[in-house]
Amino acid sequence: MNWQVYIILCSDDSLYTGITTDFQRRFAQHASGRGAKYFRGRLPIEVVYQENGHTRSTAGRREVEIKTLTRAEKQILITSGKSTER
């Protein structure tokens, strides 16, 4: 199964990182308030980064790696490649 790691820019200018097998469905869940609790009180604006081609295991590890980055490091990651294939 093809898992994806993504970063979403939120209405409060924060960056949310997550994983999914169906990004369109997951983004719609976040936008409707049925996704992560993180989106209660803020809205997803746009996808700013996405990686494809992960397994469940590698996607989870990559999500943790990205979440430990500083905002400046995430900005470098975002500008280095909008979408990458693993």
| pLDDT > 80? residue 84 | no
Q: Where are the domains of the chain?
A: 3-85
Q: What is the DSSP string of 25-84?
A: HHHHHHHHT-S-GGGTTS-EEEEEEEEEEE-HHHHHHHHHHHHTS-HHHHHHHHHH-SEE
Q: Each residue of 10-48: pLDDT tens digit?
A: 999 999 999 999 999 999 999 998 888 899 889 999 999
Residue 83 has pLDDT above 80, yes or no: no
3-85 folds as GIY-YIG endonuclease (3.40.1440)
Phi, psi of 22 (to 5 degrees): -140, 95
Q: Which pTM value belongs to this model?
A: 0.89
